[in-house]
Amino acid sequence: MKKSVQTRRVLVGMASAGMVLALGACSSSGSSSSSSASASGAAQPTAAGTTASKITSIAWGDAVAADPQYKAMGDSFVKSAQALGIKVYRFDNAANGATSVTNARLMVQEHPDVIIDYSGIASANPEIGAIFTKAKIPCVAINLPIPGCSQFGFSQQQLGTEVGTAAGKAIVASGWTGSDTTLIDAWSPMYGQDVNYAQSYLYSALAKALPQWKQVSGADIPLTTTNVGSHAVFVNGSGDLQTTNTVVKQALQDIPSSQNIIVSVFNHNSALGAQQALVAAGRKNWVIIGSGPSAAEIQSIQTNAHWLMSADFFFTAWPKYALAMAYALHAGAKLPALTESAIQATTKSNVNTYYNSAGLLKSAPPLPAADAYLAPYLAQVGGAVPTS
């Protein structure tokens, strides 16, 4: 099938300090084919008058294309959509609220069949939702809710609790105690409270295994927190390698060299920054709890003794989940308020269940029970494993 690719770029503004800070309607790129794939599947109870969906175009918003993990997600989506003959208008929200709103206006001007937007700045999302609603274009919100859109994501509180519980068991099994262990949590307050619940709830679950730590609910750790008791330090890593390196390096100066160190991070960039700081400081007893995870992080869990585990929400499967949701919306299905990603603590003992030695997803995890409606639409897009 012959395919043509069209690319447009509209640059509004850029500031760089390890990552893009302000990037307006950046890369708007479309890919189209000479014919579109026709979708078919079993009728669903929530379908409205049709069991077939033919989508010709989708507008996609990257969270921040300067981050390799998020760029790879967008690349994967475009590849999967292109394989189905769908034209994609792609925009970079650049982790910037104003840019995300500008992109929303540009998205609706393209008149796509469906919009899929990863706007990571919660404060911008009500305005974005109003733009999509006024245009009467069905939409999918990735991770954070956008009013009027069907949301794909997961419970940050549940993920944090599961990972903190697993980490607590692993830490106790290693012989570390609450007295000789300190947590450095490199979270990212810029993304809002909801996203960072994964970090605060991780602390509260981990503390239950380490009774010497201050016991506090994850809901009671605000984004302004810098310390919880005497064994937890919260620093703003901003999901950025150099920033995390700097703040972890600073935090280590106030932690006795005799302490074992746990670093929990927001993404793989932060993990790399934290690792560099720990090595440079000459620390010997430390572990990292990652998040995402990227292929490189999966390989670190497989091969690096210091990489304890990752808060895994099967990020690389999200493009296909989102594409299946677009098919469902276009078919007239009524979607639940939240379609949930599978989540787990990916550890050294279970990492090879879903990932190969290259760190790539080799088989999709089971759908949460609440997502049963999505199964036929996932079949239409070729399953949740990324298109090769």
User: Which tens digits make up the pLDDT trace of 98-118?
Assistant: 999 999 999 999 999 999 999
Tell me the whole-structure pTM to 2 decimals.
Answer: 0.78
Residue 213 CA, chain-centre distance (Å), reads 29
Closest-CA residue to 118 (of 195, 55, 57): 195
- Could you say which DSSP state residue 158 is in? H
pLDDT, tens digit, for every residue of 131-159?
999 999 999 999 999 999 999 999 999 99
Specify the domain boundaries for CATH 3.40.50.2300 within the chain: 3-154+315-341+362-380, 156-312
- 3-154+315-341+362-380 fold: Rossmann fold (3.40.50)
pLDDT digits 0-9 by tens, 246-265: 999 999 999 999 999 999 99
Q: Determine the pLDDT at residue 209.
A: 98
In terms of Cβ atoms closer than 10 Å to its own Cβ (0-12, 13-18, 19+), residue 11 is exposed
Residue 154's pLDDT is what? 93
Of how many residues is the chain composed? Answer: 388
pLDDT, tens digit, for every residue of 48-92? Answer: 333 445 899 999 999 999 988 889 999 999 999 999 999 999 999
Least confident among 13-27, 67-81, 96-110, 214-228 = 13-27
Count CA atoms within 13 Å of residue 263 on its CB side: 33
Judged against a pLDDT cut of 50, whether residue 30 lies above it is answered with no
CATH architecture classification, 156-312: 3-Layer(aba) Sandwich (3.40)
Greater confidence (330 vs 20) lies with 330
CA–CA distance from 106 to each of 55, 70, 99, 122, 244 (Å)? 19, 20, 11, 19, 33
Residues above pLDDT 70, as percent of the chain: 86
